[in-house]
Chains A and B, each alone.
Chain A
Amino acid sequence: MIGGSKKNIEVRYYASLREQAGKESETILTDCRTYGDLYEDLRRKYPFTLNLDMMQVAVDDAFVSMGAEIYSGQRIVFIPPMAGG
């Protein structure tokens, strides 16, 4: 991994992720390629109970595919499913 591939991103958490991460947002340096990779990486850091296939991810106010590539400077929001009512 060459040093320049680290990407500076802002990650925001929603609903149960916010509680499990203990924070609303954070800025991190990552070398993960996709959002899916990033979520799995974050799971090693925080006790996230939900599997990747139940998650949605939004970047700069639009939902994107988990397999899409991360770019530096992005604001990434992980959103768990909600069903209460």
Chain B
Amino acid sequence: MFLLSEDRIDREKVTADLKEDQAGALVVFEGWVRNHNQGKSVNSLEYQVYAELAEKEGKKILDESREKFNLHRAIAVHRFGHLVLGDTAVFVGTIASHRDDAFRATRFIIDEIKLRLPIWKKEHYTNQAPEWVYCRDHTTHVHFEEKDYYEKQARLIDSACLSRAKVLVVGAGGLGCPALMALATAGVGEITVADFDHVSLSNLHRQTLFTTEDVGEKKATVARTRLSLMNPFIRVHSKLKRVEADNVASLVSGQDLVLDCTDNFESKMILHDACFLAGVPLISASVYRFQGNIRTFLPSEEHGCLRCVFSATPDDSLIGNCNDFGVLGATVSTIGSIQASEALEFLANQTNSTIRDTFYLDLKTLSPMKLRNLKRADCEGCGSRPDLGKKNGTDSITDAHRPSEYEISIDEVKSSDFRLVDIRREDDAVLDRLRESLAADESESEGALPSPKWVVYCHRGIRSKKLVQAQRAKGFFHFYSLKGGACSL
């Protein structure tokens, strides 16, 4: 029984209903009007309620609690209108066969009431103007336990690996929606959604993160909101951007993995080249009508790269896309889910099934194909004469971003005017601090000082390479990384 009441709550009367011979425990919670909140002296309270919705939702909460905790009965009463100090604002009472159920159910009910009911509270203070207080700010999700969320997958995958991971998903469309949902609900700790587009009605049959209410909204923004609601234990960022040659380096920089869920070759190539140059693994998926493919690209080059397949970007207008040839929700959802599954496998174990082979699946005939990737010796990307960045679309990925340009050996350091900087005991912001100190020197001397070249080194040259690459992505080219790190000194 759920009630809204403008009158004082009569405890005797309400608890009279909480009796049953099978019941072994009664737990009662009362929320009272107290004389202070967050340092302010409170005189009285005022509650406003959207009654129709509150009654419906309140009844739902009680139904859920009875089911979840084997209750015999549950009662909740919420006051509205004007309340004075000492009044009971909320009453919750449950009876169950065992005390544990009654305790947990009562806690559940009051938390859900705070979270879900459309009830607003205004506090009247002793010596300042009254204010509406947003209860959700300090009570949200208190009853949600992270380990409960992942309970059913804990035997299959290491949640700690996933929660440490940073993943960029480019494209929140037919592939991106299912991929994002699978990554978010599996607990990938930090997800960035990049998409420049708006939700349209013709997206909804396949882009499962969106509803009719979202038509006209930015996909990345809606995706962020929805994913955060699906899993409150991760962080989701949105970038309202189309992947272009001049922003791609900063997008992929610092990511542990990138998912290409785009629908055109121009974007696929730009993303592939940037990931390759930045040393970030990439899982790319595409569909054509009832067919799809998935491939993982590693910067290690052992199994070739996308430039081994296409030295120039294929003309999108010749291939056809979803607009030209149609697309089915079930097909893209399957391919996007397999892509996410490959991503989770890679994050957990640093390997997966689509590194060595490209996986093709025909949903019409259910015929799968795994084809061993080809590495081309004269490839412009990973071959003996790399020429990446000078191809169409990617002109701005210049030589300065290429590892061979900023990774230098100890012999080169000795023969030239470099300053060695040990970053083994420094945190990841060390290069930002060095850059600031350089900027300060420059402004003092009005730019007359020659720019120094700093060679930073860590233990093995892996972390230093990543940090230097990040600086170059930001357009700062004074840093170099010592190949092999301190081990080479």
Q: Is the CB of B332 within 8 A of A62?
A: no
Contact with B along A25-51 (1 / 0, CB 8 A): 000000000000000000000000111
Report if A85-B360 is in contact (Cβ < 8 Å); known contacts: A15-B288, A61-B371, A62-B374.
no
Convert B319-330 into 0s and 1s, putting 1 for each residue whose CB lies closer than 8 angstroms to a CB of A: 111100101000
Rounded to whole angstroms, the CA-CA distance of A64 and B369 in the bound complex is 15
Compute how far the CA of A24 lies from the CA of B369 in the bound complex, rounded to whole angstroms: 14
Q: Which residues of A contact B314 (CB under 8 A)?
A: 54, 81, 83
Which segment, of B35-43, B64-72, B173-181, B240-248, faces chain A? Answer: B173-181
Smallest Cβ-Cβ distance to A59: which chain B residue = B371
Q: B residues within 8 A CB of A61? A: 369-372
A8 interfacial contact with B, CB 8 Å: no
The one of A14, A50, A77 that contacts B291, using a Cβ cutoff of 8 Å: A14
A15 touches B261 (CB 8 A): no
- B372→A84 contact, CB < 8 A: no
A84 is contacted by which of B286, B318, B365 (Cβ under 8 Å)?
B286
Tell me the complex Cα distance, A51–B315, Å: 11
Q: A-side binding surface: helix, strand, loop or mixed?
A: loop
Interface-facing stretch out of B25-33, B263-271, B481-489:
B263-271
Q: Decide if B376 is an interface residue (CB 8 Å cutoff).
A: yes
Per-residue 0/1 for B15-32: is the Cβ within 8 Å of any A Cβ (1 yes, 0 no)? 000000000000000000
Residue of B nearest to A24 (CB): B365
Which residue of A50, A58, A61, A80 has the most chain B CB atoms within 10 A of its CB atom?
A58
CB distance from A23 to the nearest CB of B (A): 13
Complex: A50 Cα to B293 Cα, angstroms: 19
| Partner pick for A65 among B174, B312, B332, B374, CB 8 A cutoff | B374
Whether the pair A50, B369 counts as a contact (CB closer than 8 A) is no
Give chain A nearest CB distance to B369 CB in angstroms.
7
CB of B309 within 8 A of CB of A84, answer no
- Complex: chain A residue closest to B325, CB-CB: A84
| Chain B residues, CB < 8 A from A56 | 309
Q: Is A82 an interface residue (CB 8 A)?
A: yes
Total count of chain B residues near the partner, CB < 8 A:
43
Cβ contact within 8 Å between B310 and A85: no
A83 near B372: Cβ-Cβ < 8 Å: no
Of all chain A residues, the one with the shortest Cβ separation from B290 is: A15
B287 within 8 Å of A (CB atoms): yes
- Mask, B293-323, CB within 8 Å of A = 1, is 1000000000000000110101110111110
Q: Which residue of A lies closest to B291 (CB)?
A: A15
| In the complex with contacts A83-B264, A83-B265, A85-B173, A77-B287 CB distance below 8 A | no
Contact A54 B319 (CB under 8 A): yes
Partner of A63 from the list B263, B322, B332, B374 (CB cut-off 8 Å) is B374
Q: Is B255 an interface residue (CB 8 A)?
A: no
Whether the Cβ atoms of B332 and A77 lie closer than 8 Å is no
Assuming the contacts A54-B310, A83-B264, A85-B286, asked whether A16 and B320 have C-beta atoms less than 8 A apart, the reply is: yes
> Which residues of A lie under 8 Å from residue B189 when comparing CB positions?
none
Chain A residues contacting B253 (CB-CB under 8 Å) are none
| C-alpha gap A56/B311 in the complex (Å) | 12
- Closest A residue to B362 using CB positions: A14
Interchain CB contact (< 8 A) of A14 among B261, B321, B360: B360
B456 to chain A, nearest CB (A): 39
Is A11 an interface position by the 8 A CB rule? no
Q: Chain A residues with Cβ under 8 A from B287's Cβ?
A: 82, 84-85
Q: Is the CB of A85 within 8 A of B289?
A: no
- Residues of chain A contacted by B325 (CB below 8 angstroms): 16, 84
Contact B369 A83 (CB under 8 A): no
Q: Across the interface, which residues of A come within 8 angstroms of B320, CB to CB?
A: 16, 84
Taking CB atoms, residues of chain B closer than 8 Å to A24 are 365
Q: A79-B360, A85-B263 are in contact. Are A62 and B291 (CB under 8 A)?
A: no
Is B262 located at the chain interface by the 8 A CB criterion? yes
| Contact call A85/B291, Cβ cutoff below 8 A | no
Evaluate contact between A83 and B319: CB separation under 8 angstroms.
Answer: yes
Chain A neighbourhood of B358, CB < 8 A: 63
Q: Do residues B371 and A63 form an inter-chain contact, with CB atoms below 8 A?
A: yes
Which A residues touch B174, using CB under 8 A?
84-85
Task: Give chain A residues whose Cβ lies under 8 Å from the Cβ of B293.
Answer: 82
Asked whether B58 is an interface residue with its Cβ less than 8 Å from the other chain, the reply is: no
Residues on A with beta carbons closer than 8 Å to the beta carbon of B262: 83, 85
- Taking A61-B370, A85-B332 as known contacts, 13 extra A-B pairs with beta carbons closer than 8 A to each other, sorted by chain A number, are A54-B315, A62-B371, A62-B372, A62-B374, A63-B374, A79-B360, A81-B310, A81-B319, A82-B287, A83-B264, A83-B288, A84-B174, A84-B321
Residue contacts A-B, CB under 8 angstroms, 18 given: A16-B325, A49-B318, A58-B371, A61-B370, A62-B374, A63-B309, A77-B369, A79-B371, A80-B319, A81-B265, A83-B268, A83-B316, A84-B287, A84-B322, A84-B327, A85-B173, A85-B287, A85-B322
